[in-house]
Chains A and B, each alone.
Chain A
């Protein structure tokens, strides 16, 4: 169990989405904030990539043709090496029931598409243990 992203290395995010534009957008936003980004175009490829090299964070789309995001997370959570990798689910749906579905499948956070750049990076930073942007010395709770 590697709970901490290795010090001095930028956290690796695996973006799984079947829309090339969304992947490019996520890559641009996340790389712009100092993350290393890896991509997969559907759930199956996402699983393969994640198994080959467990990422520090997953950003997974819900609706994909070959294996949707829910299924991918469910399968992934059964792998000992991947079951604790934090996951953000991204979807166009804003309903509570969709949010619930995502959490049930194994997501740790839910972002409604289109994801604002700062919403994505702020959540990614928190879930990988990086201090919030512009605050190298993280302050305590409000």
Chain B
């Protein structure tokens, strides 16, 4: 491939990214002249570049975009959300073509058709959707809204009597939820479709729990294929023209059978895409996403395509983005050794080699800390002096080495910010809300493990803000707020960690409603709920079991998956905090360590054994006089800082015999568990030093043990079990 062509690929990618950013900016602020100019220029430059290589369909598509943008720039046309959608589609298509050009050197076979369809849509005045409605051309591939035709599986296609290549009429009927009151009977209408080949009835959105289901609302949508003409099908639905879309479609040839691992892999990847779009409870869908991400990653790995697992997980937001991710990931491999273009200026190192290096550095740190005791033993003679000097030097060097190695793995947080603008734009549009996203501090760096751990919770938080935080424009107007909501995501370095904040100016969380919900859900009794201050009540969103509580979203709360967010952040050794002002908004703050490899623990002793408690959880250490401990049956408690805190004995928790000493004052570690866990006072035999340790997960049979997050070796070689307090209690 010529250097010129390489240059074209490189430049086009830059232009497409720039165009995407400008389009987002322009949508936020239609008066942004700079954005419209940049966007126009990107399309214009692409038109010129594609013209050099005889890529007629590509040129045609970007030309159509350029024309549409010229009209916007000159005030002849308004950038409606529909037009923005179409421009985004044109950009997505262009990006796929660039991938295909890089991989195969030519445009795919359907390029002419796609260019015609997308180009025509850009030329249209905004209004009805492109290629949809009577008059769309057969053979145009799936029109927007009809992608499901493409994903029909073999037996369904067979049932519809399709062998591929045959043109049918597809119908998408999304009945108005209130349609029963208009006298409509959606199912009866569908039954009247002539030559009905296939009828799919699906929930239009995940169904609410049975108790909240309103039987007078139609929550279903209908998808059908018919052998009759578009006109015949349209005629059946003449009373509800606003709720149906009818278009001729040519279903794709049947999916490849199980022969050949390539096609099996394709079929399995498609199944993963479908799984993402299945309805379900938020937690259920979250778990499916995790399993889909791991499965898809493994399928790609089996084919020799390595991908960034965090980016893959982020891409598992929906079927479309997973498909795009897979296409992008595979494109370089298909090109036969074309080097990937990501991280062009960066040196690419296999993460496993970095991990190995980190492990070695960690072990070196531990080995190093065995020196000082030897130095002390050596005394003050020449040998001792020499040892002391070497030890100090060693100390400094290992510290620097550790720092340098750590930095190798640092990546800017902008990587996890990347999917956010599009997520906000698409979700806000779907929900009918206006939301501005402000990103700040993307240059802040953190370890890639932390980035991996952060990606999912961050998506979750932003989605939550969109869904439950930011109100609809009319509710905002009624509250005297600007129509457009704002979500700010801000990252910065703090002490030895990173902090990411998600702040919205939405409805906030009502503490009273949270208390009521917690009682209803049986998490707290009335008295306990009433005893919570407002901050504590708001923090209930993190309590396990609260997030799935029915009706949380009615409270304009944000229960969905907050428990999962907390769990993910805490697994990474971090903390989550939330503060909310009803009516004014919510701030969620994630504080994470810079790296996962090294954990700072407080060493405690019980029954002669050493245990570690992550410093992140420790709120303080006390001596509590025996007389201050109140016993109620078998439960003990103590008053700390004016609050009653449950008191637990580590010996009992771990099944050791009671401390025979009968001390006058107990050594107590005060630990904050977050969420419903609250604060506990943990009685230990002794509190020792703080130490930085390399936490190793439990292996083999030890993995079954509950209550421990791993083992670590102390500087002097003693073994330490690191406690997972939340699991233990």
Contact = CB atoms under 8 A, between A and B. Distances in A.
Interface string A88-99: 000000111001
A99 B280 CA distance: 16
Interface in B390-404: none
A86 B303 CA distance: 17
Nearest to B153: A96
Contacts of B274: 103
Contact of B287 (A77, A116, A130, A133): A77
B472 to A, nearest CB: 31
8 contacts: A53-B700, A78-B283, A95-B155, A99-B153, A109-B295, A125-B261, A126-B299, A129-B298
Contact of A80 (B293, B567, B703): B567
A10 to B, nearest CB: 14
Interface string A120-142: 00110111111111010111111
A63 interface: no
A84 interface: yes
A108 interface: yes
A132 B155 CA distance: 26
A86 B297 CA distance: 10
B211 to A, nearest CB: 20
B302 A130 contact: yes
Given A106-B287, A108-B271, A138-B304, 12 more contacts: A52-B703, A84-B287, A86-B291, A100-B278, A104-B280, A110-B271, A116-B258, A123-B268, A126-B299, A129-B302, A133-B261, A140-B333
A129 B261 contact: no
A77 B297 CA distance: 18
A126 B291 contact: no
Contacts of A84: 287, 290-291, 293-294
Interface residues of A, number: 48
Given A86-B294, A94-B155, A108-B295, A129 B301 contact: yes
B261 A83 contact: no
Contacts of B547: none
Contacts of B265: 126
B371 interface: no
B330 A123 contact: no
A53 B703 CA distance: 7
A126 B336 contact: no
A12 to B, nearest CB: 12
B284 interface: yes
A141 B334 contact: yes
B262 A141 contact: yes
Contacts of A104: 278, 280
B258 A108 contact: no
B275 interface: yes
A28 to B, nearest CB: 20
A123 B263 CA distance: 11
Nearest to B352: A7
A83 B303 contact: no
Contacts of B258: 116, 119, 122
Interface in B270-296: 271-272, 274-275, 278, 280, 283-284, 286-288, 290-295
B262 A108 contact: no
A85 B262 CA distance: 22
A108 B275 CA distance: 8
B669 to A, nearest CB: 25
A140 to B, nearest CB: 4
Given A4-B301, A94-B155, A127-B298, A141 B261 contact: no
Contact of A138 (B293, B302, B703): B302
B264 interface: yes
Interface of A: 1, 3-4, 7, 51-54, 74, 77-78, 80, 83-87, 94-96, 99-100, 103-104, 106, 108-110, 116, 119, 122-123, 125-133, 135, 137-142
B309 interface: yes
Contacts of B330: 140-141
B673 interface: no
B278 A103 contact: yes
Interface residues of B, number: 49
A108 B291 contact: yes
A49 B267 CA distance: 30
B304 A106 contact: no
A80 B287 CA distance: 9
Nearest to B333: A140
Contacts of B309: 3
B291 A109 contact: no
A126 B287 contact: no
A27 B431 CA distance: 49
Contacts of A131: 302-304
Contacts of A119: 258
A96 B305 contact: no
B302 A132 contact: yes
A31 B249 CA distance: 46
B298 A139 contact: no
Contacts of B336: 140
Contact of B261 (A7, A53, A80, A135): A135
A100 B292 CA distance: 15
Contacts of B268: 108-109, 123, 126-127
B304 A139 contact: yes
Nearest to A134: B261
Contacts of B266: 141-142
B704 interface: yes
B287 A78 contact: yes
B574 to A, nearest CB: 15
A83 B567 contact: no
A93 B571 CA distance: 40
B305 to A, nearest CB: 7
B324 interface: no
Given A3-B297, A109-B268, A77 B284 contact: yes
Closest 7 CB pairs of A and B: A132-B261, A138-B304, A140-B333, A129-B298, A84-B290, A129-B301, A77-B287
Contacts of A7: 352
Contact of B298 (A77, A83, A103, A126): A126
Contacts of B304: 131, 137-140
B89 interface: no
Given A52-B704, A126-B302, A138-B303, A83 B290 contact: yes
Contacts of B295: 86, 108-109, 127
